[in-house]
Amino acid sequence: MLFTADHDDIRRSLQKFIANEINPRVDEWEKADIFPAHELFKKMGSLGFLGLNKPTVFGGSGLDYSYALMMAEELGAITCGGVPMAIGVQTDMATPALARFGSDEVRREFLSPSISGDYVACIGVSEPGAGSDVASIKTNARSDGDDYVINGGKMWITNGTQADWICLLANTGEGPVHRNKSLICVPMKSKGVTVARKLDKMGMRSSDTAQIFFDNVRVPKRNRIGEEGKGFTYQMIQFQEERLWGAAACLKAHEYIIEQTIEYTRNRQAFGKSILDNQVVHFKLAEMQTEVELLRALIYRAAEQLVAGEDVTRLATMAKLKAGRLGRELTDACLQYWGGMGFTNETPVSRAYRDSRLTSIGGGADEVMLMVLCKMMGTLPGSKGSA
């Protein structure tokens, strides 16, 4: 069994925290287009939520990945997408490689304060010309004695305007594109780091997203995570947790929209009966609930394998793909049943419609997920086993 009584204890604490400290302020943060990351993360860090599966020596709880997955699922109960995504960047996107491959020195400097909530982290992979195509990044970290000198830029960086440090993927050599990159911890206060702008997004409004430039930014090589040239490999491993997190965080969010739609359509009348009484509506909602449970089963299976130390690239990719597709179908169908009210910003379904659209883009677009799966199946042109 994936979850135990210990999981349930933490789950209840997190549910209480979300109900008391986050959801009452979500509307305020959505209107402001930002939430106070340092304030919220410090509260979460003090309660141990930011390092459930991180090493105890650096302030974590030392638990297995199932606890991190449980947290991701519970964060879906937050009534917006932006805040849970920002938390997920801190716990499951910017720090897994650091926790696993970083030196003790670099973990003390960057991981420990991220677990305590004293630091806000962001992950710098995507660029204007290289989103899902990670191998094509151009940001360069040139060797200069004991330092790297970094030049380039990153785009769509969640937490970017508030972050204290960035887990940066940069080219550190001239070799093959899959073996010439390194992950480097870069303090955002470093000379030459510029937050060029805060992006104005369709959804995820309460999460700040930035474009960042690096102009001759000098950082010590000791800030590198693991071995030089292994950055692409580390990031692909890190993507497993990111994609599972993204899928798991959709579960309760999807269920909430189904519940809200049932309540609204039950009370809305048209042609002498409730909207919910139409078979096309209650049948569709039953189908959507079934799809959510199927997605949950896939995610749990992947998590069990990850806890067992297995490579879950295939299942995590499937979960990410399915979560994005389901989010688009579910929110579109539910918004339709809300009618004109669904087209207003004051309803939860319109927010979910905008926020959920990112799942099919961020962390690897649907098309990239399909390419990964086809390559593993041997059906991608040019891959082993294809025609």
pLDDT digits (tens, 9 = 90+) for 14-57: 999 999 999 999 999 999 999 999 999 999 999 999 999 999 99
Given 39, 242, 263, 367, the catalytic residue: 242
Segment 220-255, tens digit of pLDDT: 999 999 999 999 999 999 999 999 999 999 999 999
- The pTM (predicted TM-score) of the whole model is 0.95
**Rounded Cα distance, 195 and 362, in Å:** 20
Query: According to the model, what pLDDT value does residue 385 have?
Result: 61
Residues of the chain where predicted confidence (pLDDT) is lower than 70: 384-387
**Rounded Cα distance, 217 and 239, in Å:** 26
Catalytic-residue membership of 241: no
Question: Shortest CA distance to 225 belongs to which of 117, 114, 100, 118?
Answer: 100
Domains and CATH numbers, the chain: 5-120 (1.10.540.10), 122-227 (2.40.110.10), 233-377 (1.20.140.10)
Cβ(112)–Cβ(59) below 8 Å? yes
**Rounded Cα distance, 344 and 305, in Å:** 42
Query: According to the model, what pLDDT value does residue 133 have?
Result: 85
Other Cβ atoms closer than 10 A to 279: 7
Query: According to the model, what pLDDT value does residue 246 have?
Result: 96
